[in-house]
Structure 1
Amino acid sequence: MGCIQSIRCKPKSFRDSIIVLEVNTSIDSNPTSIDESSSVVLRYRTPHFRACARVLVPPVSAKETWTIGWIQACNHMEFYNTYGNKGMSSWELPDLRDGKIQAISDSDGVNYPWYGNTTETCTIVGPTKKDSKFTVSMNDNFYPSVTWGVPVSDSNVPQLSSIRRDQSFTTWLVAINQATAETLVLQTIRWRMRLHIQVDPEKPLGQRAVLNEPVAQEQPQILGKNEPIPSNAMVKPNANDAQVLMWRPKSGDPVVVIPPKY
């Protein structure tokens, strides 16, 4: 009896055959750097989160196309810039803030649902005759600009007194069948970035800001049990397009300074 009729000889499905050889993830050990070269904005650059996986795919017998790569979602965002006793500006994701969704896509905004499409993904087009071995990697950090002056006023008088940020992300290594959209979660990573910068607006430019904490970030966690990807993490909008800059004065109503792009 030939192999064709025998069930035992049936090639294993893609789901059973894909092997993650190695996963590495870390946040760089350098502290957040602060740039006061502009008289209009304070800039800061956080250390990078990095994730890298080596994957082995045995020969694919079927005429299937699979993409393997990184998908990221933001689960929590606090991003407050305080201006003395005037109030604070705040970057917010309204649906996440109000608990309407549990996570929002952190895709590059072009290659949904992927974080990017250079080093972040690899596509296997079956049938293939031999093993495919490849590496997919990604990195992420924050590099924002915060105005020295109150964002809703015409005055550029420096009043910024503190910056606080606390963001959490889930990052998945995923294989997706391009025809059927079957999605296999291969690995789940959780990470968080926190910072607190104290600012003295009375001091001369170049000497105002001090990084309080944390000097080193907590390292990412590779979860022992994979988490499913929430549906919002796979579709538009992404965090960059959905975020809103609010001005929340000490007294009076909040004002939308920058509306969402989406």
Structure 2
Amino acid sequence: MCILVRYRLLSSSLVLLTLLLASTMGCIQSISCKPRIRRENIVVYEVSASIDQCPTVIEENSPIVLRYKTPYFRASAGIVMPPVPRNETWVVGWIQACTQMEFYNTYGDIGMSSWELPELREGRVKAISDSDGVSYPWYGNTTETVTLTGPTSKPSHLTVSMNDNFYPSVTWAVPISNSNTPMLSHITRDQSFITWLVAINSVTKERIVLQTVRWRMRVDIAVDPDMPLGSRASLVGRPHQEQPYILNYQEPIPPNALGRPNANDAQVLMWRPRRGAPLVVIPPK
């Protein structure tokens, strides 16, 4: 009797185990059969990255500030995305981060003002987001991104593009002075960026880096403050920018490149006198 009971219990256990295995295998087969977007299923073509072959333009229209406008960095790419499964949304576009910045405005032998990114300057982070401040992590949300919401039954052909340049104002006079006397004598700027073409699953936050571009913008302007307005400033050094590099490998995206703050909000304007302690002129936002 005991043997029979044990046999029946064993038989029941075997049936239960068989059903459990069958159910599990069914789940595995179901998962494996579900279409999934992977890097090898995404086609990227006609990737371009360039900086306009024209010099930086200096504007001396204001008695208060000098302005300069650099040539544009431009990037674009064509992408073919595979069909997007039901209940999935993918965004494809450009993410950009600043990796290095030197921005000095010299005022003779008095001192200099300096736009700085403290965390980057001190090596606490590798990059800072260069988003528009609204569309994190994306550089922008017009031509810079395309959104695909599943289900889609066939491949989607997309084009995404972006551009960037500098167009700042620099005071002729010392920024912490009440005087309007022109003292600006030199402007130096050297800034580096990484720009990624990325596909992101909006639900799972999975990221697929499709392309990586590195580029750099440099500005070198000599100023004679004793000259009349309109003829004080001139470009020195190379007239054209070094062209961007489209890498043949993909660099990972640092966490600080994906969220707040962006470079505009994180930067601080310092006054660094030739003698004395530095002073914060404009704090970070």
Is this a same-fold pair by TM over 0.5?
Answer: yes
CA distance in 2, matches of 1:208, 1:13: 57
Are residue 111 (structure 1) and residue 135 (structure 2) matched? yes
CA distance in 2, matches of 1:7, 1:106: 38
Are residue 58 (structure 1) and residue 82 (structure 2) matched? yes
**Counterpart selection for 1:204 from 213, 217, 228:** 228
Map of 1:108-187 to 2, 5 A cutoff?
108-187=132-211
Q: Secondary structure at the match of 1:232?
A: helix
Measure how far apart 1:57 and its partner are.
1.0
Are residue 195 (structure 1) and residue 215 (structure 2) matched? no
Contact 1:14/1:60 (<8 A) preserved: no
Higher helix share: 2
Are residue 29 (structure 1) and residue 53 (structure 2) matched? yes
User: Residue 251 of structure 2 aligns with which residue?
Assistant: 227
CA distance in 1, matches of 2:31, 2:284: 54
CA distance in 1, matches of 2:46, 2:156: 15
CA distance in 2, matches of 1:110, 1:7: 36
1:162-190, CA deviations, whole angstroms, 9 ceiling, x for partnerless residues?
Answer: 00000000000001100010011000000
What is the root-mean-square deviation in Å for CA atoms of aligned residues? 1.6
CA distance in 1, matches of 2:132, 2:102: 20
Can you give the 5+ residue segments of structure 1 that lack an aligned partner in the other structure? none
Are residue 49 (structure 1) and residue 110 (structure 2) matched? no
Percent identical pairs in the alignment equals: 67
**Paired letter, 1:26:** S
1:23-49, CA deviations, whole angstroms, 9 ceiling, x for partnerless residues?
Answer: 011000010000000000000000000
1:144-171, CA deviations, whole angstroms, 9 ceiling, x for partnerless residues?
Answer: 0000000000001000000000000000
CA distance in 1, matches of 2:180, 2:162: 37
Contact 2:37/2:82 (<8 A) preserved: no
Q: Secondary structure at the match of 2:236?
A: strand
User: Residue 91 of structure 1 aligns with which residue?
Assistant: 115
1:65-118, CA deviations, whole angstroms, 9 ceiling, x for partnerless residues?
Answer: 000000000000000000000000000000000111110000000010000000
The alignment of Structure 1 onto Structure 2 pairs a total of residues equal to 258
**Paired letter, 1:196:** D
CA distance in 1, matches of 2:89, 2:261: 26
Contact 2:41/2:81 (<8 A) preserved: yes
CA distance in 2, matches of 1:43, 1:177: 41
Residues 250, 130 of structure 1: alpha-carbon distance in 2 compared, 3 angstrom cutoff: same
Measure how far apart 1:58 and its partner are.
2.3
**Paired letter, 1:161:** S
1:195-219, CA deviations, whole angstroms, 9 ceiling, x for partnerless residues?
Answer: 1000000000000000002200000
Are residue 82 (structure 1) and residue 100 (structure 2) matched? no
Structure 1-normalised TM-score?
0.95
Measure how far apart 1:222 and its partner are.
0.5
Structure 2-normalised TM-score?
0.88
**Paired letter, 1:193:** M
Contact 1:245/1:257 (<8 A) preserved: yes
**Paired letter, 1:168:** S
User: Residue 96 of structure 2 aligns with which residue?
Assistant: 72
